[in-house]
Amino acid sequence: MRFESWEPIYLEILEEFGFSRGRDEEAARLLSQLLRSRPGQEEYSDIEKIGSIIRGRDVLVCGNAPCLARELDNVSPGDVMIAADGATTVLLEKGIVPEVIVTDLDGTVPDIIAANRRGSLVVVHAHGDNMAALKEYVPQMSRVIGTTQSRPFDEIYNFGGFTDGDRCVFLARCFGASKIRLAGFDYDDQNVSPMKKMKLRWAKRLVRMALDLPAPLRPDDRGNRLSPPAPARRHLPDRGLHR
């Protein structure tokens, strides 16, 4: 989606959570510097790498709720797996290496690095609270795409979304997934902090928003529109969604 469409939502998030836009943008600049210093990173700064994985394919977006392991029993052989951060650990335990991992580096990062070394493309998200993690972990990875919640620039993108889980759905939508299914999502998890409950409410809202977009539009490196791929068929599980 265009940043002009996303920005009012972003401003609402900043106000509700008390986050700093300046810190988010500082983190994005840091991630840009880290990526530019990587040998061979130019190949993975091209977002068509994501498009070649997702476009026209059935996608299973994996959140990290406790129900994930059970719901993975229904995986179809041809599904493209997009893991939200800590869901990577559950997938690896099942012998599955996700094609894409979306993370702000607050999950089990050694598992994310292990999956990356086995072929996963990692979409690393920069925000004001994870600059130390960016410095520590990004140099250990290859096949990295950088994202921000604020205005995109250069090789730092904004496909929409706030939590790891809903950013996965926006990503699949933007790049023309044929069908998007969700596993391991539980918006009603009561065993989380008040802050996490707020994030779950946002995740629910944003997942619905991503799935209800009238037509998926692939952004270029400044968030502008490119030609729309075919609309995605949607499928939601019967239970509640996301963590």
Report the pLDDT averaged over residues 179-194: 91
| Per-residue pLDDT at 217 exceeds 60 | no
Residue 17 belongs to some domain of the structure: yes
Instruction: Provide the domain limits for residue 162.
Output: 3-235
Of 145 and 214, which is predicted with more confidence? 145
Q: Render pLDDT for 91-115 as a digit per residue (tens, 0 to 9).
A: 999 999 999 999 999 989 999 999 9
Of 21-30, 123-132, 191-200, least confident by mean pLDDT is: 191-200
Average pLDDT, the chain: 86
Residue 25 belongs to some domain of the structure: yes
**Assigned token pair, 46:** 């091209």
Residue 134 belongs to some domain of the structure: yes
- Could you tell me the pLDDT band of residue 45, with boundaries at 50, 70 and 90? low
Report the alpha-carbon distance of residue 95 to residue 108 in Å, rounded.
16
- Could you tell me the pLDDT band of residue 44, with boundaries at 50, 70 and 90? low
pLDDT at 41: 56
Are residues 121 and 44 in contact, defined by beta-carbon separation less than 8 angstroms?
yes
Residue 182 belongs to some domain of the structure: yes
pLDDT at 221: 39
pLDDT at 191: 85
Q: Would the pTM of this model clear 0.85, i.e. be above it?
A: yes
Are residues 59 and 180 in contact, defined by beta-carbon separation less than 8 angstroms?
yes
Residue 35 belongs to some domain of the structure: yes
Residue 241 belongs to some domain of the structure: no
Residues in the chain: 243
Residues 6+ apart with CB under 8 A from 10: 21, 149, 150
- Which ranges of 18-163 does DSSP label H, i.e. alpha helix? 21-36, 48-54, 68-71, 87-93, 109-117, 131-137
pLDDT at 215: 52
| Per-residue pLDDT at 227 exceeds 80 | no
Q: Which helix (H) or strand (E) holds 84?
A: strand 80-84
Report the alpha-carbon distance of residue 240 to residue 243 in Å, rounded.
10
pLDDT at 220: 46
pLDDT at 190: 86
Q: What is the DSSP letter of 61?
A: E
Residue 185 belongs to some domain of the structure: yes
Q: What is the DSSP letter of 219?
A: B
Of 242 and 154, which is predicted with more confidence? 154
Report the alpha-carbon distance of residue 1 to residue 111 in Å, rounded.
30
Using DSSP bridges, classify how beta strands 144-148 and 179-183 pair: parallel, antiparallel or unpaired. unpaired
Report the pLDDT averaged over residues 211-230: 49
Split into its structural domains, the chain has a count of 1
Q: Render pLDDT for 70-88 as a digit per residue (tens, 0 to 9).
A: 999 878 888 999 999 999 9
| Buried residues in 34-53 as b, exposed as e (16+ CB within 10 A) | bbeeeeebeebbebeebbeb
Report the alpha-carbon distance of residue 187 to residue 142 in Å, rounded.
32
Residue 226 belongs to some domain of the structure: yes
Q: For the domain that residue 137 is a member of, what is the CATH number?
A: 3.40.50
| Per-residue pLDDT at 225 exceeds 50 | no
List the beta bridge partners of residue 146: 124, 156
- Could you tell me the pLDDT band of residue 216, with boundaries at 50, 70 and 90? low
